[in-house]
Structure 1
């Protein structure tokens, strides 16, 4: 009888996992709107290179397109957090959704009429990147408000699982649209997802934010920016991790985006489907991590667990340079996705706990800035280094650098003891 009572009292994992949907109307609208947006963006991610190559056939132009997206995105991050903390975050998100909707509709019309030029596409991509740079801090700040402590772990986990699912399905849908219809239709589909997101945000207009004391004061860039930095300085877990990942992200991104495709497609000479399968299982591993993380309301020893996840991912990337058995390589990618996702979830929840609501936009901007500012240069350096050292040696070097950086960070007591 006692064991039956204990089983009844034991929390049901699935009930805990879906608790954000059952307990928070605000979460449901935010989750659904952004889930559709991620799906639409995943469709566009496949279609954009096809359009660029059909217009120019040039890898240089494709690189220019990506640079034109990243540059405004990174530059605006230095200011967007200040904007987000001074304005209504829901309205900021609604504005960026409408602008991106207009861009996608215009691109669809120009493609279907045969009037799209590479110069117009350059403009569209730059404005799109600018809007993403404003949207992301606003979305992060709104999540921190909506993901209240009672549902926080499950809300972050459910968001990540659904986003991973959308990123797995979106590319397949994008390829199908291009094959059976037109790339313009894919852009039109993406436009509709932004319109749907806008509609969901209408139901969140009632959400009010705590404002900093300086919000009514005249705009002062340096002061507002340094206030965001001062929040980070109060928490070694935050500023040390942001600094560490400004380097780890370069190594990790270079290994996964540049060298893993080369390893599977060129070095081991697998069919392209093998790379697709590996990336799919990386997503599945990430979804498994989110499911486990979201099944508990609270995790202890989070500093050790988070960086152990990064260490695990680094070890998996290191092993890929020495293993050529395809099934095991696919398994390795699943473990790699699991480890990095566990870190990401702990990082997101820690931001939501430690950062004051009135400064969240600025801190989120600094986080994104630290993560992405050096990425374009990093990709160029890694590509050059791989040609100079050899791709296998570069893969080993990058993974070892990830592992050594994690070990170095774990020597800091405040990181190890973060609970």
Structure 2
């Protein structure tokens, strides 16, 4: 928003007076989006911890948190159990495992855009529930086949494909469901808390998966995976929805995909960072999937050394959550994109022959930085993309980000044979740095500012209410913080939204985004 759209002095003063009664630990110090006085400093420890605790007063957020954490904990058993279960089949080989993994991956990528359209058409928590149940059925079928020994390859591949379809439906809905559950001014903290549960569960699951396969076998380990998905589905089914959506227009799926593409392509910051990650993930797949284990096996002591490096990265992802929920940068994408540079660090250290402790330390820094990027990126998408198109845009994000990943795996071995694994790792490091620098050159990435936000107290089930003491003061707050000089709310006709963001209304007579919308839609007066 430029300075020409700033509110009149009297309205800004009225808004400040209305919020002046709030406790200091509830307020994020910030001015308007165009005010140069907004700082990049982190929010204080007490303020952030209070907001994180307040999220757990909301039953719906708690259920989402538990569903995500339990789902990821169970899913962490899947890759190890599936790989060893397939390889234990009579006559199985690496080719057999490739067939199964390809059957799982292809529908996941091919149906991602379809999942985005469906997630924007129906309540997202319902789609996520269906996807979790589909995953539970797929892994239960795999568990039964491996436990009984009756596991023909076509049936195993079909069950793996079913799990890939479920993930294609689940991923686009996931980004969009968070703003359906929490208020806009708590999105960053909510994303950070969710990441804490996910990262902790993934680390714990990876640590337990190998032992579970060794002790009880791949089939029973896959049964644990299925149980985790089933429990998550039950939790999501009880989530419900308080978001009132307009009846969907009867348009075709290609038309909705085109609308989603327009939303995606019209935001330079969005497609620039997705293009960046197409190369970053290709480099990561090559480095951490093939080249890193090769160097660890030949020069660092094998599996124990590689496990220490991965453990350092996993620990970093947990510590990074505490950083991510505290930082409140004025330009979130500049900070987020800069956090991708450390991804090149462990690749470079492996390439120059650094000792294990140095590479593990670099991997720890990567884990911290990557988590901060993820939280800021998800929060920015949820704030800037209209909610009715958020899942389709998330689908384009996922499809674009992972489109070169398989090429990285395919190119890793020939590259290592031609120039050596260490040199190949240095090339991967350079690719990450170059792609990140290129993204920072995009004006849209550098110019996007975080919206000014003031946290209101939490009442009832965590819903945000304006900090007012009377209906009159509530009307003043809404008019001062949302409406433009010639546009006001008729307080007798409108219900206040859950979160009052500092946005102006369009003169077309409806609110500027689905996240700031009166019921019924306001009309300029």
| TM-score, scaled relative to structure 2 | 0.74
List per-residue Cα deviations over 1:110-135 (Å, max 9, x = no partner). Answer: 22222122221111111110111011
Q: Please say if 1:299 is aligned against 2:339.
A: no
Instruction: Assess if the C-alpha contact under 8 Å between 2:141 and 2:159 holds in 1.
Output: no
Worse-superposed segment, 128-137 or 143-152: 143-152
Deviation at 1:150, TM superposition (A): 3.0
* Equivalent position SS for 2:184: coil
Which of 345, 354, 365 in structure 2 is aligned with 1:335? Answer: 365
Which of 83, 100, 103 in structure 2 is aligned with 1:49? Answer: 83
Once residues 299 and 20 of structure 1 are traced to their aligned partners in structure 2, the CA distance between those partners, rounded to angstroms, is: 22
Q: Please say if 1:280 is aligned against 2:311.
A: yes
Deviation at 1:209, TM superposition (A): 5.2
Once residues 377 and 24 of structure 2 are traced to their aligned partners in structure 1, the CA distance between those partners, rounded to angstroms, is: 32
Worse-superposed segment, 33-42 or 371-380: 371-380
Worse-superposed segment, 145-154 or 275-284: 145-154
Instruction: Assess if the C-alpha contact under 8 Å between 2:333 and 2:377 holds in 1.
Output: no
2:292 — aligned with what? 260
List per-residue Cα deviations over 1:137-191 (Å, max 9, x = no partner). Answer: 1122112322422321121111112211111111222222222222221111111
2:472 — aligned with what? none
Assess, with a 3 A threshold, how the Cα gap between structure 1 residues 8 and 144 changes in structure 2: closer, same or farther: closer
Which of 296, 302, 310 in structure 1 is aligned with 2:340? Answer: 310
List per-residue Cα deviations over 1:341-396 (Å, max 9, x = no partner). Answer: 22222111111111111111110110111122332233112332222222111111
Once residues 189 and 24 of structure 2 are traced to their aligned partners in structure 1, the CA distance between those partners, rounded to angstroms, is: 23
* Equivalent position SS for 1:137: helix
Q: Please say if 1:151 is aligned against 2:182.
A: no
Deviation at 1:276, TM superposition (A): 1.1
Deviation at 1:11, TM superposition (A): 5.2
1:169 — aligned with what? 204
| Unaligned stretches of 5+ residues in structure 2 | 1-22, 28-43, 450-525
Instruction: Assess if the C-alpha contact under 8 Å between 2:272 and 2:442 holds in 1.
Output: no
* Aligned alpha-carbon RMSD (Å): 2.2
Once residues 180 and 254 of structure 2 are traced to their aligned partners in structure 1, the CA distance between those partners, rounded to angstroms, is: 26
Once residues 20 and 299 of structure 1 are traced to their aligned partners in structure 2, the CA distance between those partners, rounded to angstroms, is: 22
| Unaligned stretches of 5+ residues in structure 1 | none
The structure 1 segments of at least 4 consecutive aligned residues displaced by more than 4 Å after TM superposition are 5-11
Which of 217, 228, 236 in structure 1 is aligned with 2:250? Answer: 217
Deviation at 1:17, TM superposition (A): 5.9
Which of 116, 120, 123 in structure 2 is aligned with 1:88? Answer: 123
Assess, with a 3 A threshold, how the Cα gap between structure 1 residues 326 and 54 changes in structure 2: closer, same or farther: same
Bigger helix share: 1
* Equivalent position SS for 2:76: helix
Once residues 391 and 341 of structure 1 are traced to their aligned partners in structure 2, the CA distance between those partners, rounded to angstroms, is: 27
Once residues 310 and 401 of structure 2 are traced to their aligned partners in structure 1, the CA distance between those partners, rounded to angstroms, is: 21
Higher radius of gyration, 1 or 2:
2
Once residues 111 and 13 of structure 1 are traced to their aligned partners in structure 2, the CA distance between those partners, rounded to angstroms, is: 50
Q: Please say if 1:77 is aligned against 2:97.
A: no
Instruction: Assess if the C-alpha contact under 8 Å between 1:17 and 1:295 holds in 2.
Output: no
Worse-superposed segment, 107-116 or 134-143: 107-116
Assess, with a 3 A threshold, how the Cα gap between structure 1 residues 47 and 371 changes in structure 2: closer, same or farther: same
List per-residue Cα deviations over 1:190-248 (Å, max 9, x = no partner). Answer: 1111111111112212343534x7x2314x23221111111123321112111221222
Instruction: Assess if the C-alpha contact under 8 Å between 2:351 and 2:426 holds in 1.
Output: yes
Once residues 132 and 24 of structure 2 are traced to their aligned partners in structure 1, the CA distance between those partners, rounded to angstroms, is: 48
Once residues 83 and 167 of structure 1 are traced to their aligned partners in structure 2, the CA distance between those partners, rounded to angstroms, is: 28
1:373 — aligned with what? 403
Once residues 418 and 21 of structure 1 are traced to their aligned partners in structure 2, the CA distance between those partners, rounded to angstroms, is: 27
| TM-score, scaled relative to structure 1 | 0.92
Assess, with a 3 A threshold, how the Cα gap between structure 1 residues 169 and 411 changes in structure 2: closer, same or farther: same
2:261 — aligned with what? 229
Q: Which has the higher contact order (CA 8 A, sep 6+)?
A: 1
Instruction: Assess if the C-alpha contact under 8 Å between 2:269 and 2:442 holds in 1.
Output: no
Which of 171, 194, 207 in structure 2 is aligned with 1:136? Answer: 171
Once residues 152 and 8 of structure 1 are traced to their aligned partners in structure 2, the CA distance between those partners, rounded to angstroms, is: 15
Instruction: Assess if the C-alpha contact under 8 Å between 1:232 and 1:239 holds in 2.
Output: yes
Assess, with a 3 A threshold, how the Cα gap between structure 1 residues 378 and 313 changes in structure 2: closer, same or farther: closer
Once residues 340 and 347 of structure 1 are traced to their aligned partners in structure 2, the CA distance between those partners, rounded to angstroms, is: 10
Aligned residues between the structures: 410
Once residues 135 and 291 of structure 1 are traced to their aligned partners in structure 2, the CA distance between those partners, rounded to angstroms, is: 26
Assess, with a 3 A threshold, how the Cα gap between structure 1 residues 328 and 252 changes in structure 2: closer, same or farther: same
Once residues 294 and 346 of structure 1 are traced to their aligned partners in structure 2, the CA distance between those partners, rounded to angstroms, is: 9
Once residues 82 and 184 of structure 2 are traced to their aligned partners in structure 1, the CA distance between those partners, rounded to angstroms, is: 39
